Amino acid sequence: MTLPLRINPIIDPFGRTIDYLRISVTDRCDFRCTYCMAENMNFLPKKDLLTLEELHRLAATFIALGVKKIRLTGGEPLVRKNVMQLIRDLSHYLETGVLEELTLTTNGSQLTRHAAELAHCGVKRINVSMDTLDADKFREITRWGDLQRVQEGIAAAQAAGIKIKINAVALKGFNENEIPELLRWAHGEGMDLTLIETMPMGEVNADRTDQYLPLSLVRARLSDQFTLADIAYKTGGPARYVMVEETGGKLGFITPMTHNFCESCNRVRLTCTGTLFMCLGQEDAADLRTPLRASGDNDLLMQAIEKAIARKPKGHDFIIDRRTRTPSVSRHMSMTGG
């Protein structure tokens, strides 16, 4: 696929360069994490999903518009049938240098099968979601997950030379007392750890006011055991990092609730149906499937993308409040991609 040249990067109304695209290749997942999904999810009909070829064309168009980093997400991206073909196709842009990074967020369940080929395709780092080191609690929070299988997947990825970062959602009453242990384990295995506040997206058969744990409180507690020093380290995502003196590893905080990260947002999110969300925490979206399928060239598609970025808001409106029990955003995280 030949990329049209673009001289200027795409800029949103607040002067932010949009150079990071997250693509949800599927809304399906082999876990049912209690803060992310309902146990009995109604997934999209497969006929509604873009083909892998269409996702490739969309990604290539965004690259032509200045996107330098692509993250594949889900649901669980590695459960999408033949997804490795898309990854192989996107790896060519790494080889030519027009794409700086191709990475994934995964639950780790499929890594033993795919780690070696991911590394061969130029994937140098991935995020693995893991909220606890207790196998029984892991099964409880994921409903269907097997902790040993995930840890074997992590080992396979590390053996292939892929750098791993662990993502853990901080949940009140569930894993808040395990966070120091999770930190020591991750750093001891050569992995960074990022903690995430639960976000009010989609009905999940649970009260998020009972799950919500502010990371300002978590950091204060960790400071009783560890020496935390703010650092300027960035990966392109929203995390703010500290260096942990006692372990020599990095700890990130993603705080959409207590301290939003919108002022530096360089990201947009594309769903597996061709819907572009300019903000994770807003309902406004743009249909890219129609212009994608309306023409064999990319002019209409580029125009649609530029019009969408021109509507990118300054920030989200997430709120968790006992007076407001309905989610701030009705769609599930698995639909938009993490």
Q: Is 128 helix (H, G, I), strand (E, B) or coil?
A: strand
Query: Would the annotation count 302 as a binding residue?
Result: no
Q: Which two tokens stand for residue 289?
A: 């499937």
| Closest residue by Cα to residue 314 from 284, 275, 290, 270 | 284
CA–CA dist 223, 106 (Å, integer):
29
Ligand-binding annotation for 272, yes or no, is: no
269 labelled binding-site residue: yes
Q: How far is Cα 69 from Cα 103, in angstroms, rounded to an integer?
A: 8
71 labelled ligand-binding: yes
Q: Is 129 annotated as a binding residue?
A: yes
Helices of type H across the chain: 52-64, 83-96, 111-120, 135-142, 147-159, 179-188, 208-211, 215-222, 289-294, 299-309, 333-336
Is 105 annotated in a binding site? The answer is yes
29 is in an annotated binding site: yes
Asked if residue 289 belongs to a known ligand binding site, the reply is no
Known binder of ligand: residue 88?
Answer: no
Ordered alpha helix ranges (H), 97-189: 111-120, 135-142, 147-159, 179-188
165 annotated ligand-binding residue: yes
Is 36 known as a binding-site position? yes
Tokens at 73, concatenated: 């997400």
The reply to whether 121 sits in an annotated binding site is: no
149 is in an annotated binding site: no
- Which residues are part of a known binding site for [4Fe-4S] cluster? 29, 33, 36, 262, 265, 279
- Which residues are part of a known binding site for GTP? 22, 71, 105, 165, 267-269
- Which residues are part of a known binding site for S-adenosyl-L-methionine? 35, 75, 129, 199
- Which residues are part of a known binding site? 22, 29, 33, 35-36, 71, 75, 105, 129, 165, 199, 262, 265, 267-269, 279
